[in-house]
Amino acid sequence: VTLSEWLFRAVMSKSVLTLSRDYFRLRKPLERRVYELARKHCGKQEYWRVSVETLLKKSGSASPRRVFRKMIRDMITANQLPDYEMSEEEGDIIRFASRARVLEADGPTLGPLRGSVFERARDIAPGWDVYALEADWRAYWAASGHPRLHSAEQAFLGFVKMRVAKG
């Protein structure tokens, strides 16, 4: 396989966005495209707000705006977008918020993990996206009632081992 020069540079500089495994469960092309846009624009921010008009253009959809708006509202109602919660705001604005951040906002938060922990996680789970695993772990921790942890890093590594065992 021969990679293009730009793709090779992006991979080597680790500037390629990862996708949630649940992305591949999305059945509608628009859902996949909207997830890709949310993933790109939300990043490490708390949220990303975009007008329906701009989202229509960025998605590349050929649907009229009113039809597109209805499809987006259906996505909001279904609430199946991995990693992001969508909501509609006044002024024809769509808001994407990270699900992990939404959960963490309800209680105490965990500080950042050291870089060496991610290297250890990569050893435990080769080929897995350790940052997606971290987001899943933070959501799991928040959903379990924010238990006090002796070592957040050890708890994260234990979670990674558990996820790998489950496949």
Task: Name the average pLDDT for the chain.
Answer: 86
Question: Which sequence spans correspond to the domains of the chain?
Answer: 15-99, 106-166
pTM of the shown model: 0.58
- What DSSP character marks residue 112? P
**Is 15-99 assigned to CATH 1.10.10?**
yes
Asked if residue 5 lies in contact with residue 12, where contact means CB atoms within 8 angstroms, the answer is no
Alpha carbon separation from 152 to 94, 109, 115, 148, 155 (Å, rounded): 34, 11, 13, 9, 5
Q: Residue 47: which H helix or E strand, with range?
A: strand 47-51
Structure tokens that stand for 54 in this block: 């701009």
At 113-139, the pLDDT tens digits run: 887 899 999 999 999 988 889 888 888
The pLDDT assigned to 102 comes to: 45
pLDDT band at 46 (very low <50, low <70, confident <90, very high): confident
